[in-house]
Amino acid sequence: MKPGKVYLIGSGPGDVELMTLKAVRLLGEADVVLLDDLVNREVLRFVAPDAEIVDVGKRGGCKSTPQVSIHEQMLKHAQAGRIVARLKGGDPFVFGRGGEEMQCLVAAGVAVEVVSGVTAGVAVPAVLGIPLTHRDCARSVTFVTGHTRNDEPTDWRGLAGTGGTLVIYMGIANLSRIVAELLAAGLSPMLPAAVIQHGTLPQQRSVVTTLGELPAALPAHGIGSPAIVIIGEVVGIAGYVSKNPAICEVQL
Ligand code: SAH
């Protein structure tokens, strides 16, 4: 029997045109496609007609496939000699549990290859014209999750001290607490901040505001998950905050 193989593939932030050529080719070669729920279903047009497509989406708080079941499905198909495309939103190794999936496959002796994708934390700010590391005002960018396993603490004070741009994934549910900690650590309530939901997709919604106004801005604009939060002077470079210090919705 021909040995199977799993490709851990990043599908990019949403817009299918931001998927890599390699991802598109491998989708066409796969016998089985395991899809996360943040993956735009438009990618299915690249899948071979006789391939099996399995939805293994798992969103916080929603009906979900346990991670162990995803591992089992990858192993089952690869050990039966199939080519598996495990398609994940953004980049598989950025807050995507791709590392755990790779470890599981390696431990079982299954061939695995990782195909990077464009992560939401990079692609989504770009759509609003936010240059994450504009050299006038940011010498670093930190990608951080707002949601940790078992509520393990995050050193928000330390992150506030970097003076660089903060890009927060999965930050909506805990946003009030995160903002309070950043303000307590000395960040200015006037620091520009933005939130973008469904970035790069037709249903994209965004708010550009200030750190102090950020928690109130989300319900006011009906913005929820999945969203990226960006905090830092670079948000101001996009121009919107300087034009209008009040909360404004960006029209693209
Ligand atoms: N591996 C993914 C991240 C998975 S964690 C990546 O590299 O992009 C899921 C979080 O990513 C969401 O809660 C949200 O914070 C962010 N996210 C993913 N796609 C997004 C999009 N199109 N717009 C805004 N945020 C997005």
Query: In the chain, where are the structural domains located?
Result: 5-115, 120-237
Q: Look up 22 and say whether it is catalytic.
A: no
Residue pair 221/205 in contact (Cβ under 8 Å)? The answer is yes
Distance 227 CA to ligand 1 centre (A): 7
Say which of 15, 22, 31, 58 is annotated catalytic: 58
Distance 181 CA to ligand 1 centre (A): 23
- For ligand 1, whether the C-beta of 210 sits within 6 Å is no
| Residue 203 binned pLDDT confidence (cut-offs 50, 70, 90) | very high
- For ligand 1, whether the C-beta of 228 sits within 6 Å is yes
Dump pLDDT digits (tens) for 79-99. Answer: 999 999 999 999 999 998 999
Select from 3.30.2130.10, 3.30.950.10, 3.40.50.11810, 1.10.10.10 the CATH code of 120-237. Answer: 3.30.950.10
What would the mean pLDDT of 191-214 be, rounded to a whole number? 96
- Whether the link from the prior residue into 226 is cis, omega within 30° of 0, is yes
Say yes or no to pLDDT of 185 above 50. Answer: yes
Q: According to the model, what pLDDT value does residue 9 have?
A: 98
Distance 122 CA to ligand 1 centre (A): 10
Dump pLDDT digits (tens) for 115-130. Answer: 999 999 999 999 999 9
Average pLDDT over the chain, rounded to an integer: 91
Q: Is the pTM of this model over 0.75?
A: yes
Listing from the earlier edge strand, what are the strands of the sheet with 192-197? 141-145, 165-169, 227-231, 192-197, 205-210
Give the domain 5-115 fold.
Cobalt-precorrin-4 Transmethylase; domain 1 (3.40.1010)
Q: Look up 58 and say whether it is catalytic.
A: yes
Q: Look up 36 and say whether it is catalytic.
A: yes
